[in-house]
């Protein structure tokens, strides 16, 4: 895309630009399509490996790029009807080629969305699917700009490079904001991650490790023999919460049971908070209100009336 935008800027602001730059710039449109498709496949397929046969898709780019070194200015003579017809055919082929690849890429995204419905997607999958939808939509906008550029007097030529640049900058910003580039195909690797999350559940919930005051992400990762990054990633992926919220959720569930039990009415809210593993009453109140929308004392009073 950078080479393509560079060609457009040089063509607009430069004078008597060599045909080499024009054709070389156009040839890059023939590589953008395949790269887009490969990228979408790589981000939606676990352990994706690019088959060697896929490199045949780069043949049109290679042919046109090499041909660009042999194009002379005579080809741009208005009286050379054959050259004009050939140039027009190349332009049409290039834009149709890109359109087909954008369509194929969009279809891959659509199929993945059908296999992984929104309500069943993990946090990483949600971010990745949102990113890929915006990416395909961005390329549709770019393609429309390309087409409008070649239709005489539709829009000024410089509008094209401006639109390309704006789309690329916006997509870069969204990729950073969504943190979608940290996942790739691993977001759809359900076998290993699902097994790890099940193991986390056995330790944290089954053995009630969440009740330990000093229980941390590092200590859990050490028990699992995994890095803190991997443990945090799996919790975020399946629980759709960060580690602290994941632990506090179970603490609050136990606290609710104690607050509503008649035999436990003699216990103060402070004692319940410390029994649940919280280091302070304020942190317990904050966590309780986050999950239940009310304070522990209000919850206790309401349960006593009921």
DSSP 225: T
Domains of the chain: 2-187 (no CATH), 190-305 (1.10.10.60)
**pLDDT greater than 90 at residue 31:** yes
Range with lowest mean pLDDT among 9-18, 125-134, 155-164 = 9-18
In angstroms, how far is CA 203 from the centroid of its own chain? 31
CA–CA dist 246, 125 (Å, integer):
19
Tens of pLDDT, residue by residue over 111-141, are 888 877 776 677 777 888 888 999 999 999 9
The C-alpha atoms of residue 192 and residue 185 are separated, in whole angstroms, by 13
- pLDDT tens digits, residue range 64-109? 889 888 877 666 666 667 777 777 888 889 999 999 999 999 999 9
DSSP calls for 94-148? HHHHHHHHHHHHHHHHHHHHHHS-GGG--HHHHHHHHHHHHHHHHHHHHHHHHHH
Report pTM. Answer: 0.60
Quickly list DSSP for 22-41.
HHHHHHTHHHHHHHHHHHHH
Q: Directed axis angle between helix 159-178 and helix 123-150, to 10°? A: 180
Summarised one tens digit per residue, pLDDT across range 270-297 is: 888 898 999 889 999 999 999 888 888 8
Contacts of 151 (CB under 8 A, 6+ apart): none
């Amino acid at each position: 895309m950078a080479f393509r935008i560079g060609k457009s800027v040089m063509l607009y602001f430069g004078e008597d630009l060599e045909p080499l730059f024009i054709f070389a710039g156009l040839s890059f449109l023939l590589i953008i399509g395949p790269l887009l498709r490969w990228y979408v496949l790589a981000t939606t397929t676990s352990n994706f490996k690019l088959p060697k046969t896929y490199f045949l898709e780069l043949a049109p780019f290679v042919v046109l790029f090499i041909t660009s070194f042999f194009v002379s200015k005579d080809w741009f003579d208005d009286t050379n009807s054959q050259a004009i017809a050939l140039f027009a055919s190349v332009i049409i082929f290039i834009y149709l080629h890109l359109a087909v690849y954008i369509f194929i890429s969009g279809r891959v995204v659509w199929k993945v969305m059908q296999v992984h419905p929104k309500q069943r997607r993990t946090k990483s999958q949600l971010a990745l699917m949102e990113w890929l939808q915006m990416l395909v939509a961005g390329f549709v906008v770019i393609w429309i700009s390309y087409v409008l550029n070649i239709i005489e007097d539709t829009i000024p030529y410089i509008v094209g490079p401006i639109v390309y640049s704006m789309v690329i900058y916006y997509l870069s910003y969204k990729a950073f904001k969504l943190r979608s580039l940290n996942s790739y195909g691993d977001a759809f690797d359900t076998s290993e991650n699902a097994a790890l999350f099940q193991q986390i559940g056995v330790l944290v919930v089954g053995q009630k490790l969440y009740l330990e005051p000093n229980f941390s992400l590092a200590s859990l990762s050490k028990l699992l023999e995994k890095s803190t990054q991997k443990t945090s990633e799996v919790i975020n992926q399946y629980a759709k919460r960060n580690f602290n919220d994941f632990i506090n959720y179970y603490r609050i569930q136990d606290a609710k049971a104690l607050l509503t039990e008649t035999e436990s009415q003699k216990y103060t809210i402070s004692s319940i908070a410390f029994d649940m593993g919280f280091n302070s009453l304020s942190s317990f109140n904050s966590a309780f209100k986050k999950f239940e929308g009310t304070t522990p004392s209000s919850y206790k009073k309401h349960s006593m009336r009921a």
